[in-house]
């Protein structure tokens, strides 16, 4: 198991083949995908293929998607990523967490850790998060971690809010 970063309650690590059911549980949850109308993984086969893609990418790229594991239970409770996005011309963070873990501070906790990893371990100057403007929980999490609103616009056909954090603006880590 290759750990990317740890927090008090979470381990962010590379996906493993055995994570396919956990990824499927996340990707097939209607409350999660309500605000993510793109890149749906709707079958176990899709999830298996995606995990293989992640695993192959770990060998070549520092930017990728990782499993979010709750330390107390060792359960995969979400997915997070840092990826280069042509649409925003920069590095984007994305996060999906199972609804039973919402409003517990996990999204802010893991996002802070992943952003810190990106800015200070990988040397990225700015990280952007994009969310559907109706996703109040995600917006609250982004604000809580210190991200600033850059603009409103459309992302993959959805009216979205673009938030970012630059290396020099971080002071809470």
Q: What is the pLDDT of residues 4-50, one digit of tens each?
A: 999 999 999 999 999 999 999 999 998 888 877 666 788 999 999 99
Average pLDDT, the chain: 91
Q: What pLDDT shows up at residue 157?
A: 85
Spell out the domains of the chain, with CATH numbers in brackets: 3-169 (3.40.630.30)
Q: What pLDDT shows up at residue 121?
A: 93
Cα distance between residue 31 and residue 33, in whole Å? 6
CA distances from 38 to 42, 115, 121, 125, 158 (A): 11, 23, 29, 27, 9
Cα distance between residue 35 and residue 27, in whole Å? 12
Place of tokens 């990824």: 23
| Spans of the chain, pLDDT less than 50 | 170, 173
| DSSP H/E element including 49 | helix 44-58
Kindly give, in sequence order, each residue whose CB lies less than 8 Å from that of residue 136, ignoring residues fewer than 6 positions away: none
């Amino acid at each position: 198991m290759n750990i990317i970063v740890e927090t008090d309650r979470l381990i962010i690590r590379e996906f493993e083949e055995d994570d396919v059911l956990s990824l499927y549980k996340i990707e097939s949850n209607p409350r999660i995908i309500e605000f993510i109308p793109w890149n749906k993984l709707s079958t176990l086969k899709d999830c298996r293929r995606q995990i293989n893609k992640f695993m192959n990418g770990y060998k070549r790229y520092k930017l990728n998607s990782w499993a979010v594991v709750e330390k107390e239970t060792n359960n995969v409770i979400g997915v997070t990523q840092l990826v280069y996005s042509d649409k925003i011309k920069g590095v984007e963070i994305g996060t999906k967490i199972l609804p039973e873990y919402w409003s517990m501070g996990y999204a802010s906790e893991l996002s802070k850790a992943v952003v810190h990893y990106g800015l200070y371990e990988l040397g990225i100057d700015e990280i952007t998060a994009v969310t559907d403007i109706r996703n109040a929980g995600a917006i609250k999490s982004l604000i809580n971690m210190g991200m600033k609103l850059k603009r409103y616009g459309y992302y993959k056909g959805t009216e979205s809010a673009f938030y970012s954090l630059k290396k020099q603006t971080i002071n809470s880590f």
